[in-house]
């Protein structure tokens, strides 16, 4: 029998996520022997919390499915952790555990037949593709360098005036500390956002996955101001250095328990079933607000603050528009001051900028258009994670936390990041 090729003419428009694609591309170039500065992919450089690694080892043979919502013990710990770390009110029944927070964001969006999804620009690469996959309408909330890339209440109200249909629910995806900008909202900014969202009955997914990596340890959750309609998401990928373990959590408002939470659990049960049991057991160890966890976090923050500041200062000194980061591990350099020179060099888009930069210098950045910026806006994301996190933690622990990182240690630990940043600034200077 002749096998006829299947007609693949009705596929969805969805390319591989830019973050994951760039990671693979940089790896391929590296294999060819060229030195690559992997500032493109946002993966934590730190090893997972040792107590969690031990628990994962001990429970490696655990093989059962768990309840869809997650182990009760884990949910209770996650709730208590959010109370202790962020002062939120949360109980086990409000917590949903999943294989990564990415699928939780998708599950929350999937709870609606139709929705308008408000997404700031810039914002993390996957929110808009997820909304589109579900047939929702993504609506961009404009921000600017001058406003520290923050979504203001006015810009949110403006996006709401552009709704596809006044009758469909509005979802806002907010993220702080921010990917790609490394910046947070102040308490008064959050309060103002809460007011506008309340007025327009907006449900917010507050992606606070970098919350524990606020460099000063001063993260404030939107749920502190808008508890009734804020879903807080997070997980082990960033603060616990375990992206590949795939464990995410969502804390739902008490007010959304019932029809809404049952819809989420229904979708979860028809798609991913549950997060892996051994990883949930490991997460039980991680989600404890004890001195080991606090110490682990304090050292990560100190390291990230140090390397974030030196990298950002290097770029600002070279004339790039950039804010000093306050959390997470990203910078969002805006090369607009170099626009004339870049145009003369034939570079008219953030894609072209990143391609040329990678080819000329080996520095991998992720172009601004992946984050929803206009393609001709000459901006990109730099992830300052190109260092040995285990070594950096060990050095940080040898020093007292109240002592600054000394220059000699810093020089050894962060040489590659400094060198890559220098290549970038030298490239700009030769344009
Ligand atoms: N939100 C943001 C802002 C991120 O940077 C990431 C990174 N992967 C995620 C969500 C998803 O994380 P995960 O699925 O690993 O929990
Ligand atoms: N969050 C990471 C980033 O923004 C990568 C992981 C992912 O996209 O799932 O680079």
Distance, in Å, from the CA atom of 369 to the CA atom of 350, rounded to the nearest integer, reads: 6
Q: What is the rounded CA–CA span in Å between residue 273 and residue 104?
A: 12
Q: Is the CB of 19 under 6 A from ligand 2?
A: yes
pTM of full prediction above 0.75: yes
Please state which CATH number belongs to domain 18-45+292-430. 3.90.1150.10
Position 162 confidence tier, pLDDT thresholds 50, 70, 90:
very high
- Of 69-73, 282-286, 355-359, give the lowest mean pLDDT range: 355-359
| pLDDT for 406 | 81
For a ligand 2 pocket test, name from 125, 181, 236 the mutation site with the most ligand atoms within 8 angstroms of its C-beta: 125
Residue nearest to atom 4 of ligand 2 (CA): 42
* Rg, C-alpha atoms of the chain: 22
pLDDT for 279-290, tens place per residue? 999 999 999 999
Ligand 2 and 120: CB distance under 6 A = no
Closest listed ligand to the CA of 100 = 1
pLDDT at position 105: 98
Distance from Cα 337 to the centre of ligand 1, integer Å: 31
Q: Is 248 in the pocket of ligand 2 (CB under 6 A)?
A: no
Q: Ligand 1 centre from 291 Cα, in Å?
A: 26
Contact 301, 325 (CB under 8 A): no
Per-residue pLDDT tens over the stretch 2-53: 777 677 777 777 676 676 667 777 777 788 788 999 999 999 999 999 999 9
Q: Is the CB of 18 under 6 A from ligand 2?
A: no
Counting ligands in written order, the one closest to the CA of 19 is 2
Structure tokens that stand for 100 in this block: 């990564």
Mean pLDDT of 364-371: 96
Q: What is the pLDDT of residue 155?
A: 98
340-349: per-residue pLDDT in tens? 999 999 999 9
CA of 144 to the centre of ligand 2 (A): 23
Of 332, 320, 383, 375, which is closest to residue 350 (Cα–Cα)?
Answer: 375
| Mean pLDDT (whole number) for 236-247 | 98
Contact indicator for 240, 43 with CB cutoff of 8 Å = no
Q: Where are the domains of the chain?
A: 18-45+292-430, 52-288
Q: pLDDT band for position 62 (50/70/90)?
A: very high
179 lines ligand 2 (CB under 6 A): yes
Interatomic CA distance for residues 330 and 123, integer angstroms: 12
Domains 18-45+292-430 and 52-288 in one fold: no
pLDDT confidence band for 256 (50 / 70 / 90): very high
From the CA of 383, which ligand is nearest?
Answer: 2
Q: How far apart are CA 232 and CA 367, in angstroms?
A: 27
Cβ(232) to ligand 1 under 6 A? Answer: no
Burial bucket for residue 64 (CB in 10 Å: 0-12, 13-18, 19+): exposed
Ligand 1 touching residue 211 (CB < 6 A): no
206 lines ligand 1 (CB under 6 A): no
Q: What is the residue with the minimal CA distance to atom 5 of ligand 1? A: 179
Topology annotation, domain 52-288: 3.40.640
Atom nearest to 20 CA in ligand 2: 8
- 109-137 average pLDDT score: 98
Tell me: pLDDT of 255 over 80: yes
Measured CA distances, 289 to 47, 180, 209 (Å): 18, 27, 16
* CA-180 nearest atom, ligand 2: 4
Any ligand 1 atom below 6 A from CB of 278: no
Round the average pLDDT of the chain to a whole number and report it. 95
Q: Which ligand is nearest to the CA of 206?
A: 1
């Amino acid at each position: 029998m002749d096998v006829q090729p299947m007609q693949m003419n009705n596929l969805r428009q969805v390319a591989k996520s830019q973050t994951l694609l760039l990671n693979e591309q940089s790896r391929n170039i590296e294999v060819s022997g060229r030195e690559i500065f992997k500032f493109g992919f946002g993966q934590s450089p730190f090893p997972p919390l040792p107590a969690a690694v031990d628990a994962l080892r001990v429970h490696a043979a655990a093989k059962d499915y768990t309840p869809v919502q997650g182990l009760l013990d884990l949910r209770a710990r996650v709730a208590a952790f959010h109370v202790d770390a962020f002062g939120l009110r949360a109980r086990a029944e409000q917590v949903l555990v999943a294989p990564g927070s990415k699928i939780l964001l998708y599950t929350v969006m999937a709870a609606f037949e139709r929705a308008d999804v408000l997404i700031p620009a810039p914002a993390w690469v996957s929110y808009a593709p997820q909304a589109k996959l579900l047939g929702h309408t993504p609506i961009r909330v404009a921000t600017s360098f001058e406003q520290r890339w923050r979504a203001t209440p006015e810009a949110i109200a403006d996006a709401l005036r552009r709704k596809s249909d006044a009758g469909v629910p509005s979802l806002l995806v907010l993220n702080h500390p921010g990917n790609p900008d490394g910046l947070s909202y102040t308490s008064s900014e959050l309060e103002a956002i809460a007011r506008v969202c309340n007025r327009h009955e907006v449900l917010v997914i507050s992606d606070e996955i970098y919350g524990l990596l606020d460099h000063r340890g001063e993260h404030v959750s939107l749920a502190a101001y808008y508890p009734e309609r804020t879903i807080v998401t997070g997980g082990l990928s960033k603060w616990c250095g375990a992206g590949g373990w795939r464990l995410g959590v969502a804390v739902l408002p008490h007010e959304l328990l019932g029809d809404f939470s049952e819809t989420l659990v229904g979708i979860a049960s028809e798609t991913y079933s549950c997060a892996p049991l051994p990883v949930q057991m490991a997460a039980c160890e991680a989600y404890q607000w004890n001195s080991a966890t606090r110490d682990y976090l304090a050292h990560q923050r100190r390291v990230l603050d140090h390397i974030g500041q030196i990298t950002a200062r290097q770029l600002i000194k070279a004339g790039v528009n950039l804010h000093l980061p306050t959390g997470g591990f990203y910078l969002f350099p805006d090369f607009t001051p170099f626009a004339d020179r870049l145009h003369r060099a034939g570079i008219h888009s953030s894609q072209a900028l990143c391609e040329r930069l990678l080819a000329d210098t080996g520095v991998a950045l992720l172009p601004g258009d992946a984050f929803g910026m206009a393609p001709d806006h000459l901006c990109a994301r730099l992830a300052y994670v190109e260092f040995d996190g285990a070594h950096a933690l060990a050095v940080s622990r040898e020093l007292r936390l109240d002592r600054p990182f000394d220059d000699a240690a810093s020089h050894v630990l962060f040489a590659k990041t400094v060198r890559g940043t220098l290549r970038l600034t030298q490239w700009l200077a030769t344009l």
